[in-house]
A and B are shown apart, each in its own frame.
Chain A
Amino acid sequence: DAKTTQPNSMESNEEEPVHLPCNHSTISGTDYIHWYRQLPSQGPEYVIHGLTSNVNNRMASLAIAEDRKSSTLILHRATLRDAAVYYCISMIQGAQKLVFGQGTRLTINP
């Protein structure tokens, strides 16, 4: 399994960009990188995913390093509603197990 490593916690201010890092040094060429977040007392919510190229959607951007050993989730303008635990997951093509790490607890200051 490709293990991911994230900081335990991060803090940012409202309306500022947030860069959430993830290391996945053992990722293989066909494994996708997914990001989910979990708001308090809710189930996880899909944020974004990618394979090799950088990806953008209405929620966030995903920047993937050229060697694919790391990636960064970018929230362009954080709001208080973005306070959550963010999980970076390496989805192994062909395997049957999804591995969630401990995630990064993001705190947004008003």
Chain B
Amino acid sequence: GAGVSQSPSNKVTEKGKDVELRCDPISGHTALYWYRQSLGQGLEFLIYFQGNSAPDKSGLPSDRFSAERTGGSVSTLTIQRTQQEDSAVYLCASSLVFLAAYEQYFGPGTRLTVT
């Protein structure tokens, strides 16, 4: 079946603009996760959704970052007033449920470049 998809694959934006990143999880997966990976760095957890609910938003780097999920499926990560330090690959993953016993499937990522 289809895996996790993300769009766009690449996004170049000017500092100060808003961007919206999209994630389509695997059908039937109730848990969805957002991470980011800066150049040469490991993965940084941002937020997770169980259904449409994101119980803990403390992993988001600043209040310029927000995320939502609708219909228990598609999720969008929005970054307002982008800064150069926001440049990174943003990865989305999904799993059947948010339980430690289940593996996560990652999408290919969106490479964001803020100029």
Query: Which A residues lie at the B interface, using CB under 8 A?
Result: 30-32, 34, 36, 42-46, 49, 51, 87, 91-93, 96-103
In the complex, A91→B97 CA distance in Å?
A: 13
**A residues in contact with B99, CB < 8 Å:** 93
Hey, which bits of chain B sit against chain A, CB under 8 A? 33, 35, 42-45, 48, 55-56, 59, 91, 93, 98-101, 103-109
Interface SS of chain A: loop
Instruction: State in angstroms the CA–CA spacing of A102 and B40 once bound together.
Output: 10
Which chain A residue shows the least CB distance to B48? A96
Cβ-defined partner of B103 (8 Å) among A31, A34, A93, A97: A34
Closest to A34 in B: B103
Q: Is B42 touching A98 in the complex (CB atoms < 8 A)?
A: no
Task: State which of B42, B98, B100, B104 has its C-beta within 8 Å of the C-beta of A31.
Answer: B100
Taking A32-B101, A45-B106 as contacts, is the C-beta distance between A103 and B42 under 8 angstroms? yes
For the complex, give the distance between the alpha carbons of A42 and B111 in Å. 11
Kindly list the 6 A-B residue pairs having the minimum CB-CB distance in the complex, ordered from nearest.
A43-B106, A91-B100, A32-B100, A46-B103, A100-B43, A96-B56
Given contacts A31-B100, A44-B91, A93-B99, contact A99 B45 (CB under 8 A): yes
Given A93-B100, A103-B42: A98 in contact with B108 (beta carbons within 8 A): no
